[in-house]
Chains A and B, each alone.
Chain A
Amino acid sequence: MRPFSYTRARTLTDASQTVSDDRAMAIAGGTNLLDLMKLQVETPSQLADINRVGFAEIEDTDDGGLSIGALATNTETAVHPRVRADYPVLSRAILAGATQQLRNKATNGGNLCQRTRCYYFTNIDQPCNKREPGSGCGAIDGIAKLHAILGTSDQCIATYPGDMAVALSALDAQVQIATSDGGSRTVPVRDFHCLPGDTPWRENVLEPGEIITAITLPAPVGGTQLYRKVRERSSYAFALVSVAAIVELEDGRFSRADLAFGGVAHKPWHDPRVADALIGKAPSPELFDRAADILLEDAQGFGENDFKIPLARRTLHAVLEQAVEEAS
C-alpha cells in the first residue's frame, strides 16, 4: 500500500470535509477499498474512517417503509426481521454475495460503491480507461467473460459486480446522500450508478465530499420475491447473470413484474418495458420470450461473454416460471 494518513471522522461534517479533497477517500468496511489499495489501483493520500459517525441504524420510516443505514453491515441488513419479512429479495441478494466474513464487515454504503471486478482494472500493468483514462480498454478484445452485454461503450464494457443493489433496483429503493455543503439529496438506486459512456471512471453520481447516509425502502410491496444468481460455482463467486424479481398475479395475469438484472451492465439493469410487456398478460413461455426479446434487443457480446445473452434469456424464463409457481 502507498502511504496515506488516517483520520477517524467523528461527525458527518468531519467526514464530508475530509473527502472533499479529491485525493482523500472514505473507508467503511474496507473490504473493497483495502483490496484495491494493496493492488495500487486506489492510491488515496488520506483515509477518513466513517465507521463511527453513526448511520448504522435500520429503522421504520413514516410511510411504512424501512431506512437502512449506510454504515449498517450487509449481515445486519440481511438478517433484520423486517428485511426478512417484508423485503425477502433483499435478504436473498445479500446472502447470495461474498462470504459470511465479508458480509459481516461490508457496509451497505460501501457495497453500493464497490468497484468493478474487471481483471484489467485490477491489474495496474494493463490498459484500462476506467483506471487510467485514455490508456485503452484491455477487455474489449481480451478476457471478457465477466463483462457487460447491455449499455456498454467503446471505452468500457465493465459490469457493476454487486448483488444487493440489483434487489434494491427491483424494489425501487432510494439512496440518501449528505452533500458537502451540509445539505442532503435523494437519488433512486435505479439512477445511482452510471453507464460508462465517455466517462468510464465515473461509476456513480456521488460528487466529491458526498457521503451516503442511508438507503430507504418503500412500504412493503408484497408479491413473490426471488433472487436468482447464476455463477461458475454454487457459492462464493460473482454473478454471471442474476435476476431480482418481485412478481404478483391477479386472476392468472401479471399485476406486478418488477425485475432487475445483475452481471449484464455497468449498473443494475432495470428496463421498464419488461414489466410493461408482462403486466395484464397470462404467463406463458411465449410471453417470457417476448419479455426477453425486449430486454435483450440491444444486447451485444464481446466474444468471451457471448454466452450471457442466451443465459440472461434462460435465467429470465427460470425466475418467472418459479415466481408463477410460487405465486399460484
Chain B
Amino acid sequence: MAQTISVNGAPHSVPDDPRVTLLDFLRQDVGLTGTKKGCDHGQCGACTVIVNGVRINSCLTLAAMHDGDEVTTIEGLGTPDEPSALQKAFVEHDGYQCGYCTPGQICSATAMLTEIANGWPSDASETLEGAVEISGEEIRERMSGNLCRCGAYANIVAAIRDVAEQSA
C-alpha cells in the first residue's frame, strides 16, 4: 500500500525510516530546499510550511504522520516570475537581509492572513470576538514564532501589513 504526501500538488512517497521529519523529507527526499532548518526544535520558525491549510513547524513532525496530507512550501506559493502578493511585498519592503528566515516568514504570514480572515483572535487581541483589527501589535504577536537573526523585523512587519491591509 503506497503512502503518499502531496507537496505543492505533486505526490511523493512517504520515506521508509520513521525518524525522517517532514522538514528533512521536504529538503532531502523531495529536494525542495526553500524550507529551512534553523533550530530543529520548534523555536525559530524557519521550517514553517502549510499543511492542509494550516501553518506548522515541519521540524517537529514526522513525515510518516502526514500520509494523505497536502503540504505547501515556499516553492508552492509563487515563482520568481509570478511571485505571490507577500513574496512581492517582501522584495518591495526589503523584508530580509540574509534571507534564511524568509521562506518561513512568508509561509507563516500567508497562513496568518487566512487566520485573520477567519476572525481567529490572538494574545494581542483586545476581545476574543469580532473582526481582527490589523495592527503592528497583532502582526508581531501572530508572527512571534518566526525569528529573524538579522533583525529585519521592521520591514517584515511593513511588508505583511501592506498585504494584510490590501486583502482586508
Contacts and interface: CB of A to CB of B under 8 A. Distances in A.
Interface residues of B, number: 34
Identify the interface centre among B42, B67, B118, B121: most chain A CB within 10 Å of its CB: B42
A34 B21 contact: yes
A75 B142 CA distance: 13
Interface in A23-43: 27, 29-31, 34-35, 38
Contacts of B93: none
Interface stretch (A95-103, A178-186, A187-195, A207-215): A95-103
Contacts, number: 93
Interface residues of A, number: 35
A78 to B, nearest CB: 8
B110 interface: no
A105 interface: yes
A101 B141 contact: no
B84 interface: no
Interface of B: 18-19, 21, 40-42, 45, 48, 54-57, 60-62, 64-65, 67, 108, 111-112, 115, 118, 120-123, 128-129, 140-142, 144-145
17 contacts: A6-B64, A30-B65, A31-B42, A34-B60, A34-B62, A35-B41, A38-B41, A47-B18, A79-B121, A84-B121, A95-B121, A95-B123, A99-B144, A99-B145, A100-B115, A100-B142, A102-B42
Given A101-B48, A101-B57, A105-B57, 15 more contacts: A27-B62, A30-B62, A31-B60, A35-B60, A49-B64, A49-B65, A79-B120, A85-B129, A88-B128, A95-B121, A100-B111, A100-B112, A101-B55, A104-B55, A105-B56
